[in-house]
């Protein structure tokens, strides 16, 4: 049986150096690290992570629950978190709740019973959520992207209201007045805040009308169906503000099916700036979220909690979005 001592002897380094390499300690020199890695490969060493967890009282495992793995926003969020966590020697277990609070509860119970060190949650329902299960979580955890009403825990979110407000002001400054909003579900605070930003901009310019509001889901199909409902109930509008880029994708298809051109006929703005947005025809004007950095920030907060670097009250970090102007918005003449 290959041991750490055997690795050290083969590499010509101390047992302590081998231990540091196995624990991702970045103080080891590149030369010594390479020696240890080569010795590990040569001897086909496989560390027993369970035994190491038992001896150290840490598993080096972190859970991450997201609501919709098909939405390109969330994989990028996970990538930001997992890149940082992996650099610190942590592995990430990813779970997809499908925006189902019951499935989310199941994952919380399963992950916390599997002996993980910490948890990151991008929750599903945030308005009507029973927060009892979150209060029962004894290990460190961070909430990201969606704020849970009534829960006071470490949180990383974007300034949704401000981002939406700036997007709609951009449309208004381009001469658009009849601006519909296609938003997500009412139970999601992201949808509520983005609606509030749209409403503020419309009210300030005496353009607000409840008939311009369409609630749905953060999906392409929902965007398509909501845009068809816009045509059915309102006819042609000047512009559309969509509360994420997937909704915008569906809305753009419905606009084209109704023989309108995007930008020259009906302008459209999204929210997120997913990778595909700049490749659409026309490229989508949208509010860019620093998704990768949000994930990385959530992981940093979790690491501080798990490593006990800082003992402090729950922190709320609000990041700012940026309006990315492309050609899906035209000047109204």
State how far Cα 118 lies from the chain centre. 17
pLDDT tens readout for residues 1-56: 778 888 899 999 999 998 888 776 778 898 998 898 888 888 887 765 544 544 45
β-pairing, 91-96 vs 285-288, is unpaired
pLDDT tens readout for residues 212-235: 999 999 999 999 999 999 999 999
Can you give the pLDDT at residue 54? Answer: 46
CA 96/CA 104 separation, integer angstroms: 8
Can you give the pLDDT at residue 115? Answer: 75
Can you give the pLDDT at residue 230? Answer: 97
CA 96/CA 64 separation, integer angstroms: 9
Of all residues in the chain, the percent with pLDDT exceeding 70 is 95
What are the CA-CA distances from residue 89 to residues 33, 85, 227, 285, 296 (Å)? 15, 6, 46, 39, 15
Can you give the pLDDT at residue 311? Answer: 63
Overall average pLDDT of the 65-75 stretch: 94
CA 128/CA 148 separation, integer angstroms: 9
pLDDT tens readout for residues 90-108: 999 999 999 998 999 999 9
Q: Is 281 exposed, middle or buried (0-12, 13-18, 19+ CB in 10 A)?
A: exposed
pLDDT tens readout for residues 143-181: 999 888 888 899 999 999 999 999 999 999 999 999 999
Nearest by Cα to 269 from 146, 159, 183 = 183
Overall average pLDDT of the 190-217 stretch: 97
pLDDT tens readout for residues 122-145: 998 777 788 888 888 888 999 999
Residue with more model confidence, 52 or 254: 254
């Amino acid at each position: 049986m290959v041991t750490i001592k055997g690795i050290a002897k083969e590499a010509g380094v101390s047992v302590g150096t081998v231990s540091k390499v196995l624990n991702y300690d970045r103080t080891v020199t590149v030369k010594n690290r390479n020696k240890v890695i080569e010795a590990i490969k040569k001897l086909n060493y496989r560390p027993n992570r369970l035994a190491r967890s038992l001896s150290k009282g840490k598993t080096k495992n972190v859970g991450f629950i997201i609501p919709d793995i098909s939405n390109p926003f969330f994989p990028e969020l996970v990538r930001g978190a997992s890149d940082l966590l992996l650099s610190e020697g942590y592995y990430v277990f990813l779970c997809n709740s499908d925006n189902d609070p019951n499935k989310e509860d199941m994952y919380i119970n399963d992950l916390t019973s599997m002996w993980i060190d910490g948890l990151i949650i991008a929750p599903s329902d945030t308005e009507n959520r029973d927060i009892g299960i979150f209060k029962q979580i004894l290990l460190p955890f961070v909430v990201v992207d969606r704020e849970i009403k009534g829960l006071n825990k470490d949180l990383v979110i974007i300034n949704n209201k401000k981002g939406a407000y700036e997007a709609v002001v951009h449309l208004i400054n381009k001469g658009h007045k009849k601006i519909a909003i296609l938003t997500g579900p009412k139970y999601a605070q992201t949808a509520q805040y983005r609606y509030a930003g749209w409403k503020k901009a419309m009210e300030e310019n005496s353009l607000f009308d409840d008939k311009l509001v369409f609630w749905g889901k953060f999906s392409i199909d929902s965007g398509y169906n909501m845009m068809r409902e816009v045509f059915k109930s309102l006819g042609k509008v000047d512009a559309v503000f969509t509360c994420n880029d997937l909704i915008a994708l569906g809305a753009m298809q419905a606009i084209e099916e109704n023989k309108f051109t995007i930008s020259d006929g009906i302008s459209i703005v999204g929210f997120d700036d997913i990778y595909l947005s700049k490749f659409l025809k026309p490229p989508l004007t949208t509010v860019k979220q620093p998704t990768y950095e949000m994930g990385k920030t959530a992981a940093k907060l979790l690491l501080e909690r798990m490593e006990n670097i800082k003992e402090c009250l729950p922190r709320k970090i609000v990041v700012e979005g940026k309006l990315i102007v492309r050609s899906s918005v035209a000047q109204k003449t």
